[in-house]
Amino acid sequence: MTEFTFELNDDQKQVRDWLHGFASEVMRPAAAEWDEREETPWPVIQEAAKVGIYSLDFYAQQFFDPTGLGIPMTMEELFWGDAGIGLSIVGTGLAAVGVLANGTEEQIGTWIPQMYGDADDVKVAAFCSSEPDAGSDVGAMRTRAVHDGATGEWVLNGTKTWATNGGIADVHVVVAVVDPEIGSKGHASFIIPPNTPGLSQGQKFKKHGIRASHTAEVVLDGVRVPGHCLLGGKEKLDERLARARERVRAGASERVKNAAMATFEASRPAVGAMAVGTARAAYEVALDYAKTRTQFGRPIIDNQGIAFQLADMRTRIDAARLLVWRASWMASAGKPFTAAEGSMSKLYASEVAKEVTAQAVQILGGNGFTREYPVERMHRDAAIYTIFEGTSEIQRLVIARTLSGMPIR
């Protein structure tokens, strides 16, 4: 029987230390500048590509780590460096996960390499699911994909919003409605190849945090894509839709795989790991500050009010990491999330990130409220974790429904 351990193996430690070095030496010195510029940090992404961090091979190695800890370890270290730059580096991964979750082997082999490009010609990709009137409510999605039987093409129309890398991406993965009569079960995912006519960038958002990550609307106006751009293929889609329609006619309920949800289920523990990285970064700044900042003739950490806060911060961070690691290990081992463990990990870690970064600002006092210290940026960045890829409220709903088996609303 394999020994149970929380200890990373030598290979994992080597990767962790390598990532930590990149985050410390490349990302952190650039973080404040790109936060102020609110632009994609192409030079940092380029540097990540040169050393092998921004590459299909690297993420594939971490994704297929048999312990399941490769991806969360990677996310924690990069987001310890900086959340905005970190999201610019890993944002393509959400689109890649969308292809992995829904695509055929041929589609995976064809499109994912094009999402990254290479060190000399870096590319990014975008996953487009949310809409102006359909964020958490995926059943309200309006973007339509209609099959043109004469040409075998799919025609997409609609507007997507909150898309990381939206409009600047080389490859877009778009979730659209193919059968509106069966709600969220009638969705499918499509690849929009580079330079496809009809796809354009809409509004670019000026955000509270993660400002080094490009977030924008994506407008689809009569976008035509070949049949092979339907992820999974039409035969598989027709079979799935037929089963869903039959269940609807029979008045039965069934958990039918949904294109957007399949992506989010696979990525939620990774988002939890991002939150852990940001929380850990803020905690470490606060701890160092408390050891060196003197008031009334002694370091402020000598005061129980400060010391106990730091003790709670570290405890919550470690607890969040353990939830993320458990969910990641379960996913890698093929164990079902019978208690919504993926959503648990994302929920708790994201709430911890908000709490810990707020406490870090408080410990630094007036200094924590200025941009001279990084906890101000970390606190702004942490707000996103309870919002994107399923709000905290949606995570609680998923957990409650899974535990109770009831259609809680």
Catalytic residues: 389
* Residue 297 CB coordination number (10 Å): 6
Asked whether 172 and 178 are in contact (CB, 8 A), the reply is no
* Residue 151 CB coordination number (10 Å): 11
Asked whether 75 and 273 are in contact (CB, 8 A), the reply is yes
Asked whether 269 and 372 are in contact (CB, 8 A), the reply is no
The token duo for 351 is 């709430």
Asked whether 353 and 278 are in contact (CB, 8 A), the reply is yes
Mention every residue, 6+ apart, whose C-beta is less than 8 A from residue 32.
371, 374, 377
Asked whether 217 and 161 are in contact (CB, 8 A), the reply is yes
Phi-psi region of 284 (alpha: psi -120 to 50; beta: other; left: phi over 0): alpha
The token duo for 152 is 């075998």
Beta bridge partners of 122: 117
Asked whether 36 and 207 are in contact (CB, 8 A), the reply is no
| Distance from C-alpha of 83 to C-alpha of 72, rounded to nearest angstrom | 14
Q: What is the DSSP letter of 27?
A: I
Contacts 24+ apart (CB under 8 A), 141-145: 141/175, 141/176, 141/177, 141/184, 141/187, 142/177, 143/174, 143/175, 143/176, 143/177, 143/220, 144/176, 144/177, 144/178, 144/180, 145/176, 145/177, 145/178, 145/188, 145/190
Q: Are strands 187-192 and 171-177 parallel, antiparallel or unpaired?
A: antiparallel
Alpha helix stretches (DSSP H) within 251-374: 259-292, 304-333, 341-364
Beta bridge partners of 125: 171
